[in-house]
Amino acid sequence: MGIHASLRQTDFSEFCTVNDDLKHTAAVGYDRVVTLASSMPESRIVKETAVLVDVKRCGKDERYHEALFRALAGGLCPNQLFLTIP
């Protein structure tokens, strides 16, 4: 059974827990891209574009999503959430 099929068979809490893990992985990946890009400040993609700003924003968004799914997995309703981005 593939991931797609197994996600369809999870309950809400388990689904949110899986998404918490996925969002954490994405955030770590964006952090790594920022680290690598920062180590090559003369690179055209870093120096002449807003890519690094966008990657940092994406990482921040993923941290928010991670916190959201973690809270939802714990049984909180969306109107009970007061999330802070780590």
pLDDT digits (tens, 9 = 90+) for 38-51: 898 888 887 788 88
Instruction: Evaluate whether residue 50 is within a structural domain.
Output: yes
Of residues 1 and 54, more confidently modeled = 54
Q: What is the pTM of this model?
A: 0.77
Tell whether 80 is covered by a domain. Answer: no
Residue 83 lies in a domain: no
What number of other Cβ atoms are within 10 A of residue 26's Cβ? Answer: 17
Q: How many domains does the chain have?
A: 1
Residue 72 φ then ψ, to 5°: -65, -35
**Is residue 19 within a helix (H) or strand (E), and if so which, with residue range?**
helix 12-38
pLDDT top residue among 75 and 67? 67
Mean pLDDT check: name the lowest of 6-10, 39-43, 54-58, 65-69: 6-10
Dihedral of alpha carbons 59, 62, 66, 71, sign: positive
Domain boundaries, position 32: 12-75
